[in-house]
Amino acid sequence: MTDRSTIGVGRARACANIALAKYWGKSDETLNLPAVPSLSITLDALVTETTVTLDDALDARAGDVVLFDQKPRDGEDKTRAVELLDRVRAIAGDERRARVETVNHFPTASGLASSASGFAALATAAARAYGVDASLEQLSAWARRSSASAARSLYGGFVELAAGVVGDDSLAARVVAPAEHWDVCIVIALASLKRKKTSSRDGMIETAKTSPYYPAWVACAPGYFREVRDGVLARDLEKVGVAMEASTFAMHASALAARPAVRYYAAATATLLECVESLRSDGVAAYSTMDAGPHVKVLCMRSDAERVREALVATGAAVDVRVARPGPGVQ
Ligand code: DP6
């Protein structure tokens, strides 16, 4: 028997990540397994802190309480958090409900994806609160089941997540290289503060269902992933940058060909992408990526980050521009 007086509160802190080789599409929707391998950098500047407190006053009917930035959250976000808690409760053999408090320390109320850091922090804090002695690998697999990109946020530095084999719920991310491996930065230019219309989950499911380019994306993605991985290990910025842009635009092309189109570009996005191209023609090694939103994230060496930041600010197209570095895993 677990001594319940010694458990009941778990806290964790996790950083978001940006994929250099993109995950888009699922091989198994029920287990949330990715159809393609992906590789990301965990970023120090985008942090989520989560506290899970077991509360005897909350019965099964009242259910769990989920607060985001001190406000109660319902809908899809809450459902996914409760599903993760249910899985941890089943393992712990403990039915008690929990109060989940999540605070995002993101540069602004930005619409930047916080689900990766959020579910990485939640899996870790829930395991602590329910007294489950889980390895990082298990926590990564639990976070992946809630949001596949979250599996990568358990680890710091450069992290990969393989494509999933249908039915294998143990899939977890793993480290390719630690944060100190390479002095690169991601400069994040926010194109808009509007909430996105289509979540990454809905966007990729629609793409898989209706885009004639989805099979081509799934066929090409492992090649982009290998180029990115080899480039990261060799600290070859051009190799990583070229493959990252190919992965990004192929992912967005597959989404654009869905019916109706899944489009994340905004007018400002094109201006920011052009800025990065013109930096490159001026000899600055800088490469763009985008996720399920209009923001442009630029990969460059730390020594060029300030120049890249200034150029993006000077376009007038960004509402905020921040520099992030490779950061730590969950704490
Ligand atoms: C474009 O991890 O948010 O950011 O597993 O359905 O929760 P779910 O999707 P999610 O998708 C992230 C997609 C992406 C690319 C990436 O991070 O690899």
Tell me the domain boundaries of the chain. 4-180, 182-324
Q: Is 117 in the pocket of ligand 1 (CB under 6 A)?
A: no
Q: Is 254 in the pocket of ligand 1 (CB under 6 A)?
A: no
Measured from the Cα of 251, ligand 1's closest atom is 1
| Cα 105 to middle of ligand 1, angstroms | 20
| Cα 24 to middle of ligand 1, angstroms | 7
Q: Are the CB atoms for 63 and 55 separated by under 8 Å? A: no
Residue 74: predicted pLDDT: 83
Long-range contacts of 169-178 (CB under 8 A, 24+ apart): 169/31, 169/141, 169/145, 170/141, 171/33, 171/141, 171/144, 172/136, 172/137, 172/138, 172/140, 172/141, 172/144, 173/140, 173/144, 174/137, 176/39, 176/229, 176/232, 176/233, 177/232, 177/233
Q: What is the CATH number of domain 4-180?
A: 3.30.230.10
Q: Is 160 in the pocket of ligand 1 (CB under 6 A)?
A: no
Chain mean position to CA 13: 14
Over the stretch 248-268, which tens digit does the pLDDT of each residue have? 999 999 999 999 999 999 999
Q: Which of 23, 144, 153, 161 should be mutated for ligand 1, with most atoms under 8 A from CB?
A: 23
CA-closest candidate to residue 123, choices 135, 111, 112: 135
d(CA 145, CA 297): 26
Q: Which residue's C-alpha comes closest to atom 8 of ligand 1? A: 147
Helices then strands, counting H and E runs in the chain, come out as 8, 13
Helix, strand or coil for residue 302?
Answer: helix
Q: Which of 41, 200, 206, 251 should be mutated for ligand 1, with most atoms under 8 A from CB?
A: 200
Q: Is 269 in the pocket of ligand 1 (CB under 6 A)?
A: no
Each residue's pLDDT, cut to its tens digit, for the chain (331 residues) gives 444 544 699 999 999 999 999 999 999 999 999 999 999 999 998 999 999 999 888 877 779 999 988 888 888 889 999 999 999 999 999 999 999 999 998 765 455 767 899 999 999 999 999 999 999 999 999 999 999 999 999 999 999 999 999 999 999 999 999 999 999 999 999 998 877 789 999 999 999 999 999 999 999 999 999 999 999 999 999 999 999 999 999 999 999 999 999 999 999 999 999 999 999 999 999 999 999 999 999 999 999 999 999 999 999 999 999 999 999 999 9
| Cα 288 to middle of ligand 1, angstroms | 17
Over the stretch 162-188, which tens digit does the pLDDT of each residue have? 999 999 999 999 999 999 999 999 999
pTM recorded for the entire structure: 0.95
Measured from the Cα of 292, ligand 1's closest atom is 1
| Cα 62 to middle of ligand 1, angstroms | 31
| Cα 42 to middle of ligand 1, angstroms | 14
Name residues whose C-beta falls within 8 Å of residue 153's C-beta, 6 or more positions apart in sequence. Answer: 14, 15, 16, 17, 42, 116, 117, 119, 120, 143, 159, 329, 330
| Cα 204 to middle of ligand 1, angstroms | 8
Measured from the Cα of 80, ligand 1's closest atom is 7
Q: Is 151 in the pocket of ligand 1 (CB under 6 A)?
A: no
Helix, strand or coil for residue 3?
Answer: coil
Strand 71-72 with 38-54, pairing: unpaired
d(CA 300, CA 285): 6
| CATH for the 182-324 domain, from 3.30.700.30, 3.40.50.1860, 3.30.70.890, 3.90.1300.10 | 3.30.70.890
Q: Is 32 in the pocket of ligand 1 (CB under 6 A)?
A: yes
